[in-house]
Amino acid sequence: MPRKINRPAPSPMVDTPEVAPLEYNQCQAAVKRLTEYLSDELDAPETEAVQSHLSQCKGCFAKFHFEDTLLRTIRAKVEQVQAPATLRDKILGLISAPKI
Amino acid sequence: MDKTDRARETFEREMVVHLDALYRAALGMTRDKTNAEDLVQDTFVRAFSFYGQYQGGTNGRAWLFRIMTNLYINGYRKKNREPERVSYDELEDFYLYNRLSDAQSRGIGAAPEAEVVNRVEADAIREAIDNLPDEYRDTVILADINEFAYQEISEMLEIPIGTVRSRLSRGRRLVQKAIWAYTNNNQR
């Protein structure tokens, strides 16, 4: 039984399967948006398109999740650094001086 | 309490609270504690003298970062410009993920995510960011560490948004390459 009743007959000139290149293109389209996706810079439809792909593609999901985790780890580790107390005192002293 | 005292008090409450974030960014940009302290100090002094022009209620953190990046690009960087230390080879997407996956499949490591969360040290990250060429380092610090929007970074660094995007993309790959090199040299 055919999956689609009105499916047009494939062109005799095209002998490559349809599914593989489509999947490849979807991965490629998602990866192209990786930088902005991680920065939350995509608009809503584009974010949704990436997320929809990630929900269907295990490989991309693992890689995107890794990139996100890496960014969060980097941020968390860098944020452990604090300004020296002497610098704070110096700045407070400078802005309290009658004229700087 | 006179007007000047009130201004000082508001400045302290609204601006000095961002000191740590500014210091971290300055440290990343200048790669030197003394220069970072000088840069942050100059930023606050300048911010205080222009505080009258700051519109209360707007984004104070972004205002301070704009002052700091301006001082840095036009002063500190010009004085201390160093030759670039990172190669410009094209790097693949998911560089670190691919290396860690490969190591895992050869039985010399855990899953990539666990490796990154548990084993990548703050020193590796610091070194990876420090070794980025200036333009990539600034963008990575502003976007990935301080989470500014591309538009804000574009204004701070006076570069088009497309350049912010491409520098960030490349900068992230270079960070991954450096983390991998550091991890390999120190842990495996």
Q: Spell out the per-residue pLDDT of chain B, length 188, in tens.
A: 576 777 788 888 889 899 999 999 999 999 899 999 999 999 999 999 998 888 777 789 999 999 999 999 888 776 665 555 555 567 889 999 999 999 888 888 888 888 887 788 888 898 899 889 988 999 999 999 999 999 999 999 999 999 999 999 999 999 999 999 888 777 64
Pairwise CB contact (< 8 Å): B145 & A31: no
Domain match, B176 and B100 both: yes
| Residue B44 near chain A (CB below 8 Å) | yes
| Residue A73 near chain B (CB below 8 Å) | yes
ipTM of the complex: 0.84
Instruction: Give this prediction's pTM.
Output: 0.81
| Residue A92 near chain B (CB below 8 Å) | yes
Of A67, A78, A87, which has the smallest distance from its Cβ to B145's Cβ?
A78
Q: What digits encode the pLDDT tens for the residues A49-75? A: 999 999 999 999 999 999 999 999 999
Number of domain units in chain B: 2
Q: Are A49 and A19 contacting, i.e. CB atoms less than 8 angstroms apart?
A: no
Range with the largest mean pLDDT of A18-22, A34-38, A95-99, B128-132? A34-38
Of B172, B17, B1, B3, nearest to B97 by C-alpha is B172
What residues make up the domain containing B108?
95-185
Q: Which of B33, B52, B80 is the last residue of a domain?
A: B80
Residues A51-60 as b/e (b if ≥16 CB within 10 A, e otherwise) read eebbeebeeb
Q: Which of B53, B80, B107 is the last residue of a domain?
A: B80
Pairwise CB contact (< 8 Å): A78 & B23: no
Q: Residue B147 domain-assigned?
A: yes
Of A36, A41, A78, which has the smallest distance from its Cβ to B24's Cβ?
A78
CA angle A37, A43, A44 (to 5 degrees): 100
| Residue B121 near chain A (CB below 8 Å) | yes
